[in-house]
Amino acid sequence: MDPALEPGRKRTSTSPVTPIQFTCSDGQVLHGNLFEANDPPAGTPKAMVVIACATGVRASYYRRYAAFLAGHGLNAVTFDYRGIGASAPESLRGFRARWHDWGQLDIEAALAWARERHADLPLHFVGHSFGGFGVGLTAESRHLTRILTVGAQHAHWRDYAKGHRTRFVARWHVAMPLLTLGRGFFPGKTRRWLEDLPRGVALDWARGRKDFTMNAPPSQREQMRAAQRRLRAPILAVAPTDDPFASPRAVARSLAYTPNAPMTVRFLEPHTYGKIGIGHFGLFHERHRDDFWRQTLAWLEHGVDPWDGGARPVEGNTSVPAVSPVPDGAPGGGV
């Protein structure tokens, strides 16, 4: 398991935390938490922020960041996808879930719940890894004011950073599907790689398609692509330069699905945070409370890019590798 996912120091949050549940359009019930703004200015929260997880990571990993946002006057919502953490059944054997369900159904329902609870507040989104990609699959994204993505991509195997590709292919595209087919779900916890994954999610990841929408049944593909084209909220996409999943090519591929959203990409150098490395999970660790977490407030509260001039900039789609979701118009294919 990535060291950043190990439990950190415990601090008591003064922000009220309320367990919540909401129902997706297909009837699936999801569980999460609402971190309510602590003594917001003028007695009213500044905004609602929905935080969406990386694949195979429990929502509890983001609780300290959510409490931090609440401590600065923003309501924050965390939740577990179907099949993960508090939203998992007793057994994942026979449990049906696909990777795109987490975006189309789960993130969709979380956004709707947050919007309906405080229709008078701006609605922002923070997405880590798949969470940052999955928001583009939702119809509710039309209500978003701003989006912050951290290491967002959908794990096409050719996009893994050099030096990691062979190991990742062996782990995620060979070992994971074999274990999944044998057990009926992916036993990630026993291998200390990540949380257990539903069969459909694990196999979708293992296929490693360059066009994510090709994982879905044909009847859903155009619906997904239309949702991605409708996304128009400004996106600030960040990733550490040593993130082995969110390489420049992977980030470019992820953003290419939402061509109508204004976007800025920033690749963050670990040494600017006094670190040798940050990796894929590190920015949500409490050690970044006083630097990265505070920087995100500038974007979420004011729409200001805090890394303008202070990070390696990539504006729009112009300076990242020219990657479309389906290069040369060819259909996506697995390994």
Domain membership of residue 320 as a residue range: 3-329
Express each pLDDT in 184-237 by its tens digit. 999 999 999 999 999 999 999 999 899 999 999 998 999 999 999 999 999 999
CA 259/CA 100 separation, integer angstroms: 19
User: What is the strand order of the sheet 312-315 is part of?
Assistant: 17-23, 29-35, 75-79, 48-52, 123-128, 146-150, 235-240, 263-268, 312-315
Express each pLDDT in 290-310 by its tens digit. 999 999 999 999 999 999 875
Residue in the block written with tokens 């044998």:
182
Instruction: Find all residues with CB under 8 Å of 187, minimum gap 6, and list them.
Output: 179, 196
The answer to whether position 160 is within a domain reads yes
Which two three-digit tokens encode residue 36?
A: 């309510």
Contacts 24+ apart (CB under 8 A), 181-187: 183/93, 184/92, 184/93, 184/94, 185/92, 185/93, 185/95
**Range among 40-49, 97-106, 314-323 with highest mean pLDDT value:** 97-106
Q: 3-state class of 70 per DSSP? A: helix
Domain count, the chain: 1
Specify the pLDDT at position 16: 87
The answer to whether position 335 is within a domain reads no
CATH code of 297's domain:
3.40.50.1820
Q: Predicted confidence band at 331 (pLDDT cuts at 50, 70, 90)?
A: very low
Specify the pLDDT at position 210: 94
Express each pLDDT in 229-240 by its tens digit. 999 999 999 999
The answer to whether position 276 is within a domain reads yes
Which whole-number Å values give the CA distances from 327 to 33, 98, 160, 321, in the listed order? Answer: 40, 24, 16, 12
- Higher-confidence residue of 54 and 330: namely 54
The answer to whether position 262 is within a domain reads yes
Average of pLDDT values for 252-258?
Answer: 97
